[in-house]
Chains A and B, each alone.
Chain A
Amino acid sequence: MKRVVITGMGIYSCIGTNLEEVRESLFTGKSGIGIDPKRTEYGYRSPLTGIVPQPDLREALNRRQRICLPEEGEYAYMATEEALKDAGIGMDYLEKHETGILYGNDSSSKAVIESHETCLEKKDTTLMGSRAIFQSMNSTVTMNLSTIYKLRGINFTISAACASGSHSIGLGAMFIRLGLQDMIVCGGAQETNYLSMASFDGLSAFSIRIDEPQKASRPFDKGRDGLVPSGGAATVILEEYEHAVKRGARIYAEVVGYGFSSNGVHISQPSNEGSALAMTRALQDANLKPSDIDYINAHATSTVLGDSYEAMAIDEVFGMHRTPVSSTKGMTGHECWMAGSSEVVYTLIMMQNSFMAPNINLEEPDDFSKKMNIIAKTTDKKLGICLSNSFGFGGTNSALILKKL
């Protein structure tokens, strides 16, 4: 089996639109949550969301490239530009070497809804224009980025709800381990427009702590009242170890473990058994013991059920070792399809800068949270091996283990 390393990363999120801004936010515990008035107008129960600026791509891309990109595709382009630059990869390299793309995305609502509205008004599908089909498919990010970057390797989208971004990295690592690819662009993207989250809001799953947006996302806290939706995109460049060494690339970490499982129970409720199985499998895959893990970046989204089941699972697998845990979602909100990859980027930033980002807004742990060693304040620590959890609707679970080389 080949070894898999991460040689580049990029991030476009509500806590910063590049690596340096995000490092600063993670270190200082800055929240990216705010109010979107359009949501109230549209009929949302909660207008809270991660505030992500729209990038201006007029200089960077030609018209065809630009108009086929939906919102999450624009975010993904920004994150991927930064990741490729960070890895020292330019168009010249991509044209000469086969590179793949596996990216997580699970909706592109705005393009679908706007096209439908056009057709209702005009009664003519042609008047949806040429961009509608390319913007509206779930695979929009991979189809756009593979065209923009002239990629000729593996190319498809992973749709696995809120574990999409994590599975994309896990699957990318599998392709490289098997010797099928030397380099794959992996990541996850999440749209943030008001059309994209309405049906999720309809489940009353979102926090309504409207008076204090930056305190609304409170993973593991007794006073939480739901998650805050958010988005953006995160990209990592996965590379075969020898390949990376040969081209003199900087190596952030090795992807040493990927564990997955499916709960097989309820469409929306998580499971401690499924979550624990994903973590245990990741440890087995990495040939590591629970005591080897220096830090866990939890999935915890700030919902009572989700946080409690994850706390039970972490306690079951790591309890006796008091492994430090934090959920960065207190700052970012729930970045959904993107979260599994952005949280790998956040974890890599922590590993690179020797600190653990705080689980902000944790004021009073509940009975389940109490059992864990939750990092509520930024803590300096050299991090050698870290685990990142991601769980999604339908009971899909993914755990990734990263090791600093």
Chain B
Amino acid sequence: MNRTQIIETINNFLIEDIEVAPEALKENAFLKEDLGIDSLDFVDIVVVVEQNFGFKIKPEEMAKVKTLLQFYDYIEGKLKANN
């Protein structure tokens, strides 16, 4: 999966499963403040990441992810490490 596909997958589940407004999906957007993702939503993001990418993200690592760009980077990094 290349970076474009990763971004597309993440954006899709943020829109479909977490119901984030598509126009809010900007790379510099903060997950909590701008996209309105709260602590309960992070649990659901763990579920959809597992469903879409086949691995489980760790809550302590996810705590460091603040922006959408960092989220793309984090998932891309995990996928590369797993391969």
Interface centre among B18, B40, B56 (most CB of A within 10 A): B40
- Residues of A57-78 at the interface with B, using a CB-CB cut-off of 8 Å, are 62-64, 67
Q: Which residues of B contact A67 (CB under 8 A)?
A: 44
Counting CB contacts under 8 A, is A353 at the interface?
no
Nearest-CB residue, chain A, relative to B17 = A63
* Known contacts A126-B56, A127-B56; A63 and B18 CB within 8 A of each other: yes
Q: Bound state CA distance, A385 and B56, in angstroms?
A: 61
Contacts of A63 in B (CB 8 A): 18-19
The CA of A129 and the CA of B49, in the complex, are separated in Å by 12
Residues of chain B lying within 8 A (CB to CB) of residue A62: 19
Taken together as a complex, chains A and B put the C-alpha atoms of A124 and B44 apart, in Å, by 13
Docked pose: A127 CA to B59 CA in angstroms: 12
Min distance, Cβ B63 to any Cβ of chain A, angstroms: 14
Q: How far is the CA of A62 from the CA of B38 in the complex (A)?
A: 14
Interface residues of A in 94-138 (CB under 8 A from B): 122, 124, 126-127, 129-131
- In the complex, are the beta carbons of A130 and B44 less than 8 A apart? yes
B50→A127 contact, CB < 8 A? yes
Q: How far is the CB of B3 from chain A (nearest CB, A)?
A: 26
State whether A124 touches B40 (Cβ < 8 A).
Answer: no
A351–B40 Cα gap in the complex (Å)? 46
Chain B residues 36 to 60 lying within 8 A of chain A, measured CB to CB, are 38, 40-41, 43-44, 46-47, 50, 56, 59
Report the Cα distance A64→B39, complex, angstroms.
Answer: 12
Q: Are A129 and B47 in contact (CB under 8 A)?
A: yes
Cβ of A126 and Cβ of B43 under 8 Å apart? yes
Q: Is the CB of B46 within 8 A of A64?
A: no
Residues A129 and B56 in contact, CB atoms below 8 Å apart? no
Q: Once the chains bind, are A130 and B19 in contact (CB under 8 Å)?
A: no
Is A130 a contact partner of B18 (Cβ separation < 8 A)? no
Whether B19 contacts A127 by the Cβ 8 Å rule is: no
**Cross-chain contact of B56 among A64, A124, A130, A131 (Cβ < 8 A):** A124
Contact A130 B41 (CB under 8 A): yes
Q: How far is the CA of A63 from the CA of B44 in the complex (A)?
A: 12
Residues of A within 8 A of B40 (CB): 64, 130
CB distance from A361 to the nearest CB of B (A): 46
Q: Beyond A122-B50, A127-B56: 10 further Cβ-contacts under 8 Å? A: A62-B19, A64-B40, A126-B56, A126-B59, A127-B46, A127-B50, A129-B47, A130-B43, A130-B44, A131-B44
Q: Which residues of A contact B (CB under 8 A)?
A: 62-64, 67, 122, 124, 126-127, 129-131
- Can you list 12 A-B contacts with CB-CB less than 8 angstroms, sorted by A residue number? A67-B44, A124-B56, A126-B43, A126-B46, A126-B47, A126-B59, A127-B46, A129-B43, A129-B44, A129-B47, A130-B43, A130-B44
